[in-house]
Amino acid sequence: MAQLFDDLQLILSRLVVKIRALGFWALVYSYCGICASVAVLKLFWSMGRRPTQAFQCKIREHPPACLNDPSLGTHCYVTIKDSGLRFHYVASGERGKPLMLLLHGFPEFWYSWRHQLREFKSEYRVVALDLRGYGETDGPSHRENYSLDSLILDIKDILDALGYSKCVLTGHDWGGMISWLIAICYPEMVTKLIILNFPHPTVFTEYVLQHPSQLIKSAHYFFFQMPWLPEFMLAVHDFKFLKNLFISQASGIGRNGCRLTEEDIEAYLYIFSQPGALTGPINHYRNLFSCLPLKRHEVTTPTLLLWGEKDAFMEVEMAEITRVYVKSYFRLTVLSTASHWLQQDQPDIVNKLIWTFLKEEGQRKRE
């Protein structure tokens, strides 16, 4: 009788798991359809208002001077043996110093860390990477090549290729997601973890499912599951949507922030206007839901989480919940006037907070 009861419990538990999985994927695909429908309606609306401008899409042939500014560091390339991919990065600071590795978000590239490349080179070998499929880094054509496992292994292999076994790992937005996962899977590689505007991945997935407001703010995660349409929508009106992410009142850097110059914006347009340049970045998202939920959660690395409260894409409540999953020293600082683009928006404050964390953690170890 006891055995029968145990068998029933096992069957029921498996059934609950399958029902939850079915509900999860039903939500994903339903919301994908809604987001796609809204995007198409917006496209038709813009075509009706300005039909001659809707499909203008100018490829920038020459990089703006700021991308070759020698004060930012040296442009370098490294080829990973296992994948065969060539990665582009910009490095500042002397070789042999401790490594600070910077991982950008979407839709960004190494240049989003320009203020940090200058700031931390006095004590670190600072490396701002173009992630797989971004900028001058190779981008495989198939979405299967952008699994979270592949993205994590990229960073591990790059550390090896650079001659390091560990680093201060810093990530913003999607780069923050990857940084969390590296700290979870390979804690020995990360001496200190610094995250900007991205919660612990488990917090994010659970919070999205429980809070419709965050589900709406995360609509792009679902919209990006569609083939070709997201790339098309980002490019119409000469990348107007892309530009508005950084400069609009709704999602861009605020009045009190360090606003992007025309040359900064041209740097982004130069990178993302190249043929096929949007597909790799969006492919990062196209494998996300098949990799969640995580099997491992705990972070044992000293962690600094910085958050811009005016973030249009991430609700600040997730920042405090993240504390539950960090089993080491954890410091959270919320900047009340900062946007999602934190390291560009408030570079001086962000740099100061990072320095404080690095020195504070060093003092704690000596004590």
Contact in structure between 154 and 179 (CB atoms under 8 Å)? no
> How does pLDDT run across 220-249, given as a tens digit for each residue?
888 898 899 899 989 988 999 899 999 999
Give the range among 152-161, 190-199, 255-264 with minimum mean pLDDT: 255-264
Contacts of 233 (CB under 8 A, 6+ apart): 39, 42, 43, 241
State yes or no: is 160 an active-site residue.
no
State yes or no: is 211 an active-site residue.
no
What is d(CA 81, CA 71) in angstroms, rounded to the nearest whole number? Answer: 30
The CA R_g of the chain, rounded to the nearest whole Å, is 21
> How does pLDDT run across 78-120, given as a tens digit for each residue?
999 889 999 999 999 999 999 999 999 999 999 999 999 999 9
Cis omega (within 30 of 0) for bond into 107 = yes
Average pLDDT, the chain: 89
CB-facing half-sphere around the CA of 184: CA atoms within 13 A = 19
Whole-model pTM: value is 0.89
Among 173, 264, 311, 345, which one carries the catalytic annotation?
173
Among 207, 221, 340, 345, which one carries the catalytic annotation?
340
Domain locations in the chain as residue ranges: 1-49, 69-365
Contact in structure between 279 and 270 (CB atoms under 8 Å)? no
Q: Specify the pLDDT at position 5.
A: 58
Percent of the chain with pLDDT over 70: 84
Contact in structure between 357 and 192 (CB atoms under 8 Å)? yes
Which residues does residue 78 pair with via DSSP β-bridges, in sequence order?
Answer: 87
Q: Specify the pLDDT at position 138.
A: 98
CB-based burial, 145-179: b 16+ in 10 Å, e otherwise: bbbbebbbbbbebbbeebeeebbbbbbbbbbbbbb
User: Which CATH architecture group holds 69-365?
Assistant: 3-Layer(aba) Sandwich (3.40)
Tell me the average pLDDT across 269-292: 91
Give backbone dihedrals phi and psi of 274, rounded to 5 degrees, phi first: -65, 150
Among 111, 124, 221, 285, which one carries the catalytic annotation?
285
Give the range among 6-10, 39-43, 167-171 with minimum mean pLDDT: 6-10
State yes or no: is 285 an active-site residue.
yes
> How does pLDDT run across 47-75, given as a tens digit for each residue?
666 666 666 789 999 999 999 999 999 99
